[in-house]
Amino acid sequence: MTSLPSSPTPKKLGLVIDLDVCVGCHACVVNCKEWNTGGYGSALSDQDPYGADVSGAWLNRVHSFEVVPEGGEIVGEAGDARIVHFPKSCLHCEDAPCVTVCPTGASYKRADDGIVLVDEDMCIGCGLCAWACPYGAREMDLAAGVMKKCTLCIDRIYNETFEEADRQPACVRTCPANARHFGDLADPASAVSIMVAERGGIDLMPEQGTRPVNKYLPPRARKPLAASTDAPPREDTSGATGLFAWLDKMLDRI
Amino acid sequence: MHPAPSIIAFTTLSGLGYGLAVMLGLGLLDPAAIATKIAWVAALAAIGGGLLSSTLHLGNPQRAWRAFSQWRSSWLSREGVMAVVTFIPLLMTAWACVIEGRQAVVPGLIGTVLSLCTVFCTAMIYASLESVDAWHTRLTPACYLLFSLAGGAVAASFFAFCGSGNAKWLPVVAIVALVAAWIVKRGWRQRMRVVAPLSTPETATGLGSIGSVRLFERPHMTENYLTREMGFRVARKHAAKLWIIATVLGGVVPFVLLALLLAAGAQAGPGAALVAGLALASHVVGVLAERWLFFAEARHAVMNYYGG
């Protein structure tokens, strides 16, 4: 059934991504692909995998943006431009437009934990859900003809054969910079909720009315580069005597 | 958005077919005439061909039957259901005309209403997507409905000049519908050009509070499903020319040809049928170009993440 759960889900499992910490190494991208190509549903296929025009389905991608403060086009005029690495995967929206447009019932949002999933055996591969998602979180698997998306590694997080530390999405587990966090955003006492509250976590494209569960922590304010080092000390000639004092005086006059 | 040929063919053909079914369902053509029987077959063929064409872009068309299940939430599902339901009165009315040579009034009227509902559902698939600014407007279903009616009226005029009668009034209906369709379409396109994008790179990344955001690096060097599907740009380069081609072939040519036939007081006959046939062919080509632009010019919010 592609109607959304009628009441807010008791749990809102999701990710919190710290844009201040992400170094853009793409480890989460690779581990996501590695885990999900062998896990839930059909493999994540690549087309022309060893050719010049390789492409494939990925559930998590890292974009890099350049943010220029107003008046900052000229170096030193205003704040410095900065690069922000930006990992992007499904935000498991509360009002997920991808779910309601699905004609077959393949797309659904779980009523207990809010995870948005695709039942690949019911998906006809029409692609309308990918059109409905403003975030580009869904990609068609061209080999299987079904829509693929982030499952929040549902086959890891509830997997009791794993050690506790491994019951996390692959992207979170692998992040070497600890920029990705997984937890229940419906629980105000959870580590992720506290993090969001303290750092002013934000929604992406709130104007689309999707109410994403995943939150992004904006980069912390940064001092301008020039302010982070002391200016080189000015040459001081007050202690000069004799010939050097005379030279200093003469050269000052020129 | 990527203009998939199967979707363009589907919306154009089924729109034309349903429009013609509306004219036939209203009993505007003489049900006893051979040309009217052919018109019914043509209308059903256009609708059926369009619907079949729409399954061509599916990844798993063998499961297409599942698309009838989610009519409570999905406009695509509603369209599928309405298309099947509409076939019932259309086939009844067609049977009455083709086999018995009479107009089945009640099924014809029901078929008329349901045909328009189906076209409306098709349009709402696009109009309901907030992620595409150009489509997310009430003008989208208005355009689809008016183009369906205009195409149907031009086609009905052709069959009228082939001997189905009513050759005096149907071209007038066609001309009025053509003018209305292109006026509304012009408004639709004007809105598309001036409407402020709902989302920007700043809101997409949430980094607008720091400064202006521009893409530094895409996630991968090569194209992917998203950039191919949502980032189509080929037609934008020629959009102005294509728009002129669409309006001239889809609007001006059929308008002028039908007006000439009216002015000449043309009766049904081979010459008039040829001219009306030209008007119909020109209109279909123009609407194909219009549909191409409908997709190709529409910009998707996800491109805020891809620098375009």
Question: Would you write out chain A's pLDDT as a tens digit for each of its 254 residues?
Answer: 578 888 889 999 999 999 999 999 999 999 999 999 987 788 999 999 999 999 999 999 999 999 988 776 665 555 677 899 999 999 999 999 999 999 999 999 999 999 999 999 999 999 999 999 999 999 999 999 999 999 999 999 999 999 999 999 999 999 999 999 999 999 999 999 999 999 999 999 999 999 999 999 999 887 666 666 666 666 777 788 888 888 888 888 88
Q: What is this structure's pTM?
A: 0.91
Domain range spanning residue B186? 5-305
The phi and psi torsions of B132 (rounded to 5 degrees) equal -120, 105
Q: In DSSP terms, which residues pair with A63 in a beta bridge?
A: A86
Side chain identity at B25, as an amino acid letter?
Answer: G
Residues 6+ apart with CB under 8 A from B265: none
Provide the 3-class DSSP secondary structure of residue A66. Answer: strand
For the range B94-102, what are the long-range contacts, defined as Cβ-Cβ under 8 Å and sequence gap of 24 or more?
B94/B24, B94/B40, B94/B41, B94/B43, B94/B44, B96/B31, B97/B24, B97/B31, B97/B36, B97/B37, B97/B40, B98/B37, B98/B40, B98/B41, B101/B31, B101/B32, B101/B37, B102/B31, B102/B32
Q: How many CA atoms lie within 13 A of A133 on its CB side?
A: 31
CATH code assigned at B254: 1.20.1630.10
Asked whether this complex has an ipTM greater than 0.85, the answer is: yes
A145: contact with B, CB 8 A cutoff: yes
Cβ-defined contact of A105 to B210 (cutoff 8 Å) = no
| CATH code of the region A13-221 | 3.30.70.20
Chain A to chain B Cβ contacts (< 8 Å)? 207
Question: Could you give the CA distance from residue A33 to residue B106 in angstroms, rounded to a whole number?
Answer: 58
Question: Could you give the CA distance from residue B135 to residue A22 in angstroms, rounded to a whole number?
Answer: 36
B270: contact with A, CB 8 A cutoff: no
Instruction: Give me the residues of A, 20-59, that contact B with CB < 8 A.
Output: 26, 29, 53-58
Number of domains within chain B: 1
Nearest CA in chain B to A104: B67
Chain A residue numbers with beta carbons less than 8 Å from the beta carbon of B81 are none
The answer to whether the beta carbons of residues A116 and A90 sit under 8 Å apart is yes
DSSP result, A108-146 = EE-TTT--EEE-TTT-----HHHHH-TT---EEETTTTE
Token pair for B164: 């189905």
B209: contact with A, CB 8 A cutoff: yes
Angle B105-127/B139-159 helices, nearest 10 degrees? 140
Token pair for B31: 């049900």
Give CA separation, A234 vs A224, A228, A238, A242, in Å. Answer: 21, 18, 12, 21
